């Protein structure tokens, strides 16, 4: 992906200092950038279904893994964090229905919303839990193994994911 095709550039400021979480966040940013590329090349109509599917599946997997990490570490603000995740999934679901059922274009609304949400969520609530877990000395080894196994399973079980990663 060239610099001209980057809608949302990953910056070191977005790092939560947990390698596996940063990698997952970078993948979410990549999905957003691929939507931008498709729209900028006027290929949005042909690409949007696959992008919506990958975005929803990857986001749900990421949230489940992140919530599992917070549970394992007994993170005190887990419930408000989960509620933020639920709100994003609801918004993605609403945008998907708007596109599929109402046949309305959602590209620019989705790009704008997701860029803002990801930046604010990562730099806000994700930084809080990562800081708390790092300060408490929580060991991420077991969770990272679980996360990597789940992402590998996802990659192997979804045909669109193979196409997506090759693009």
Specify the fold of 17-166.
1.20.120
Which residue, among 44, 12, 27, has the nearest Cα to 127 in the 3D structure?
12
Q: In angstroms, how far is CA 45 from the centroid of its own chain?
A: 22
Give the pLDDT band of residue 126 (cuts 50, 70, 90). very high
Degrees (nearest 5) of the Cα angle 31, 35, 36?
Answer: 115
- Percent of the chain clearing pLDDT 70 (strictly above): 90
The pLDDT score that the predictor gives to residue 46 is: 73
Q: Which two tokens stand for residue 10?
A: 């990953």
Domain locations in the chain as residue ranges: 17-166
- Residue 26: pLDDT above 60? yes
CB atoms within 10 A of CB 103: 7
């Amino acid at each position: 992906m060239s610099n001209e095709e980057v809608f949302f550039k990953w910056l070191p400021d977005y790092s939560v200092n947990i390698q596996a979480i940063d990698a997952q966040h970078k993948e979410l940013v990549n999905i957003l950038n691929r939507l931008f590329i498709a729209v900028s090349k006027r290929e949005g109509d042909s690409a949007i279904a696959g992008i919506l599917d990958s975005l929803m599946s990857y986001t749900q997997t990421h949230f489940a893994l992140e919530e599992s990490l917070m549970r394992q570490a007994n993170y005190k603000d887990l419930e408000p964090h989960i509620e933020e995740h639920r709100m994003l999934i609801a918004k993605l679901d609403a945008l998907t229905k708007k596109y599929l059922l109402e046949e309305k274009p959602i590209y620019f609304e989705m790009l704008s919303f997701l860029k803002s949400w990801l930046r604010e969520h990562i730099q806000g609530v994700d930084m809080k839990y990562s800081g708390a877990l790092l300060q408490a000395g929580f060991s991420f080894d077991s969770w990272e193994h679980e996360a990597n196994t789940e992402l590998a399973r996802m990659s192997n079980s979804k045909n669109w994911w193979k196409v997506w990663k090759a693009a």
